[in-house]
Amino acid sequence: MCACRCGIRVHLRDGKPSYIEGNPEHPLNKGVICAKGASGLMKQNSPARLTRPLRRKAGAERGAGEFEPISWDEAFAMLEQRLARIRGTDPKKFALFTGRDQMQALTGLFARQFGTPNYAAHGGFCSVNMAAGMIYTIGGSFWEFGGPDLERAKLFVMLGTAEDHHSNPLKIAISKFKRDGGRFVSINPVRTGYSAIADEWIPIRPGTDGALLLALNQEIVAQGLFDREFVARYTNGGQLVITDAASPRHGLLATDEDADPVNPLYPQNQLWWDRHSNRAVATHTPGADPRLFGDYTLPDGTRVQPAFQLLAERLRAHTPEWAQEITGVPAATIRRLAHEMGITARDEKIELPIAWTDCWGNEHQTVTGNPVAFHAMRGLAAHSNGFHTVRSLGILMSLLGTIDRPGGFRHKPPFPRAIPPSAKTPTGPEGVQPDTPLAGLALGWPGSPEDLFVDDEGGPVRIDKGFSWEYPLSVHGLMHNVITNAWRGDPYRLDTLMIFMANMAWNSTMNTDQVRKMLNDRGADGEYRIPFLVVCDAFQSETVAFADLVLPDTTYLERHDVMSMLDRPISEFDGPVDSVRVPVVPPTGECKPFQEVLIELASRLKLPAFVNTNGARKYRDYPDFIVRHETEPGSGIGFLAGWRGADGSKSLLGEPNPDQWQRYAENNCVFKHELPPSYRYMRNWNRGYMEWAQRHRLRRWGDPILVHLYSEVLQKFRLAAQDKWPGRRPPAHLAKRVETHFDPLPFYSQPLEVQATDTQRYPLAAITQRPMAMYHSWDSQNAWLRQIHTHNYLFVNPRTAAAAGVADGAWMWVESPWGRVRCMSRHSEAVEPGTVWTWNAIGKSPGAWGLAPDANEFTRGFILNHVISDTLPGGTSNSDPVTGQAGWYDVRVRISPA
Ligand code: SF4
């Protein structure tokens, strides 16, 4: 029902769902179910369900919600004609943006085959900084792709995590961790949800976690509490960086040009300064041990320093006292926490009797663990300084020696991946051609300026300006820029925008009011500036009212779905896991799964991957597609990894199996592959795992993945900004921005919006999170869950409220430079005094969600997005300059009685 993807069992009475329970045999939730999961029946019966395709009535205004039913045949014919014209002329005029839909491998394939670069899911609005900051540092990230090993951790530190993100698996793990005597520290401006059961709550000012993490790193290094052996062997801390400012390779890693780079895309010929022989040697030379500190000269006269030395120098000024001023966390607390992390990692080491071999051929008899684990999410990410904050966290985890080790952070297959992963977008406008699939992926992982998706002048090719010099590493796209850019015609206008399961006219946008006006705005020719808007959803969200064409989706109980290794599987630390949904009831009314809509449209448009060589339709329907589609003809890789091969005897790789759905249904809808113990740890550098992963095509290469304490990738962009890179350069107006933010070492700067705000007038930070019972905002109209909350409050520390004269429970204004909204106050000690917060997406717009006109959601609820802006003074997007992450937790406000 949500992206946690717990297993459930649905009981039917008279053919209708009558009871939902957690599936005790499901590996993810082991029978545990949350309030939302248990309330799925009311989702099924929601009065907000869309049940027929609808067309906006002739003459009706967008937003008025005046529709007439049409048949699916008419809807498909309309779309086929329109999309065929766009594809045949300029495919980028069609954009497809989706919410947290769990089927991005299919939506992405559709977009690529259509030929449009304008595709992304909600990641740029959600937590791309968490994904990118971690993956560009350690080759993996949290949630689906890795997480804290609370089975063995002794100390668990959670930062910037909403009430229960992610849900049941982490609840189970934290519960056991605490019973086993583990210590749980939560760092968060707000103490609710998981933070409420933490042993220690460390309140922090929003957007300042980067400063705290730099100070923690500084303390760990200054006290000598880092894991020297881990840093030396498994990170690039010992690699030599060219420090001659005049060198065209300034800031890049020194290499032995005579040595075999092994993999030119990820060269393996860097150098260490060996402390035994006191000279430069190839990294991981047998018997060598790198200096981590110092200043050296190579035989050709090149000045170099170990990357760790540069990191230590960077950290030096970031003392606890420095961080205290920024974060509000006392310096003594920072020192104590760093010390606790350091000695727990050092003195409570775990040795598991598991033999393994590293990528350099060294045999180890045990796996070592340093039992300090972390979990972090959007609270760190949704700031315009979030990328470097998250990098600082990845570095802290690495200094403590906790990467893919017992009791620390552990990857989940298909991670770890190369830094950066090898998937790439096209690199210029020529990658977009009529009637042709896109010449690359719509979303990729740039490794240098040459990988950007820009035109000859350095301008963007994507409508959201993703992968341009404005947001070079926007690996999840910038959903929050789409409507504004299309409305402005900057960089160009769209013809058709298709939105799936994303409430972009309400809570899935930063500037709700403006977006609603833009969707309704017409040009001088009298036509809408965004000419055709298709909304596909199961529910009548606020965005539906603006659609020209509405396509009714099914609920999760009415369709097939896959949680695929090609997308976001439910893998565990010990091996790959994928899962499926099978429908328990037929679709309501004329609802059609969006997957079926895409298969139908792709077949009609004759997108190559969906038709045979003679142009005939290839797949009967979505279940047929899932079984028979292979990433390349004969690759043996499809959406599902289990029970492959003609007789279902193969796994991960194998020919399509016509009975695959049946086999999943017989096995709790889950396929699980357990790795042998020797492949379960140290996977960045584990030869056995790497060979296995290559054989099963989870990895293209078997090279070790060293942690990037120092990011050479970022330095390449910085060199381009400094006019020193032999290839592409940023446009002049962006050079300074790129030079500043593409620092190879983490740094702290105030979020861009805070820098541009008069914080005397607007002194408070305002943030949101979801309530536990509404884990995702999509489908949040649910009769049972409405009994828990039909409206939200603004939570204010009593001291702050008293100073503003706002009584508990009273009506109040919350006002930012961008606007104000009336809301109800709730005094709460569980929020630090400089922050106010509320739940997201409880407040709704009148007329939406099938609610009565006097529903509390309208009369008492509110959404904070009314006072947030997607644009900073001067017109630039309010996004992280590295990744394009929406900085929607950066707004500053003031409060007053209403
Ligand atoms: S966390 Fe999500 S998937 Fe799990 S039971 Fe709750 S709603 Fe369902």
- Write the pLDDT tens digit of every residue in 728-773: 999 999 999 999 999 999 999 999 999 999 999 999 999 999 888 8
The predicted pLDDT at position 664 comes to 98
β partners of residue 274: 279, 290
Cα distances from 814 to residues 536, 782, 802, 889, in angstroms, run 33, 28, 15, 15
As beta bridge partners, residue 303 has 297
CA of 37 to the centre of ligand 1 (A): 5
Residue 668 CA to ligand 1 centre (angstroms): 16
Q: 286: burial class by Cβ within 10 Å (0-12, 13-18, 19+)? A: exposed
Is residue 155 within 8 A of residue 177, CB to CB? The reply is no
CA of 622 to the centre of ligand 1 (A): 24
Partner residues linked to 796 by β-bridges: 827, 836
- Kindly give the number of the ligand 1 atom that is closest to the alpha carbon of 5: 3
Burial class (CB in 10 A: 0-12, 13-18, 19+), 658: exposed
* Radius of gyration from C-alpha coordinates of the chain: 27
Phi-psi group of 327: left, alpha or beta (phi > 0 → left; psi -120 to 50 → alpha; rest → beta):
alpha
826 forms beta bridges with 795
Give me the pLDDT at residue 165, please.
80
Distance between CA atoms of 248 and 718, rounded to whole angstroms?
12
CA of 144 to the centre of ligand 1 (A): 14
Cβ 142 vs Cβ 377: under 8 Å: yes
The CA distance from 441 to 473, in Å, is 14
Question: Which ligand 1 atom sits closest to the C-alpha of 167?
Answer: 1
Amino acid making up residue 539: F
Q: Which atom of ligand 1 is nearest to the CA of 2?
A: 2
Neighbours of 412 (CB within 10 A): 23
| pLDDT value at residue 780 | 75
Gap between the Cα atoms of 749 and 406, Å rounded: 34
Ligand 1: which of 2, 5, 43 to mutate, judged by most atoms within 8 Å of the beta carbon? 2
Q: Which atom of ligand 1 is nearest to the CA of 22?
A: 5
Testing ligand 1's pocket by substitution, the residue of 21, 33, 579, 780 carrying the most ligand atoms inside 8 A of its CB is 33
Which atom belonging to ligand 1 lies closest to the Cα atom of 33?
Answer: 5
For ligand 1, the distance from its centroid to the CA atom of residue 167, given in whole angstroms, is: 7
- Segments in the chain below pLDDT 70: 779
Give how far the C-alpha of residue 763 lies from the chain's centroid of Cα atoms, to the nearest Å: 29
Instruction: With beta carbons less than 8 A apart as the criterion, state whether 670 and 576 touch.
Output: no
Indicate the length of the chain as a whole number: 898
Q: How many CA atoms lie within 13 A of 783 on its CB side?
A: 11
| Beta bridge pairs of residue 294 | none
Going from the Cα of 24 to the center of ligand 1, the distance in angstroms, rounded, reads 14
The owner of tokens 């039909």 is 790
**Exposure of 294 by Cβ count < 10 A (0-12 exposed, 13-18 middle, 19+ buried)?**
middle
Q: Whose CA is nearest to atom 4 of ligand 1?
A: 6
Ligand 1, residues 20, 34, 170, 778: which to mutate, most atoms within 8 A of Cβ?
34
* Sign of the torsion formed by the C-alpha atoms of 36, 565, 710 and 882: negative
8 A C-beta contact, residue 692 and residue 683: no
Q: For 613-668, give the DSSP string.
A: TTS-B--SSHHHHHHH--SSTT----S--SSBSTTS-B-SS-S--TTHHHHHHHTT
Please report the pLDDT score of residue 583 as a whole number: 96
Index of the ligand 1 atom closest to the CA of residue 164: 1
Helix (H) / strand (E) containing 391: helix 386-399
Ligand 1 atom nearest 32 alpha carbon: 5
Ligand 1 binding pocket (C-beta < 6 A) is: 1-2, 4-6, 29, 33-34, 36-37, 167-168, 775
Q: How far is the CA of 672 from the centre of ligand 1 (A)?
A: 20
| CA 41 to ligand 1 center in whole angstroms | 13
Nearest CA to ligand 1 atom 2: 2
Residue nearest to atom 8 of ligand 1 (CA): 37
Phi, psi of 312 (to 5 degrees): -60, -40
Rounded Cα distance, 628 and 623, in Å: 9
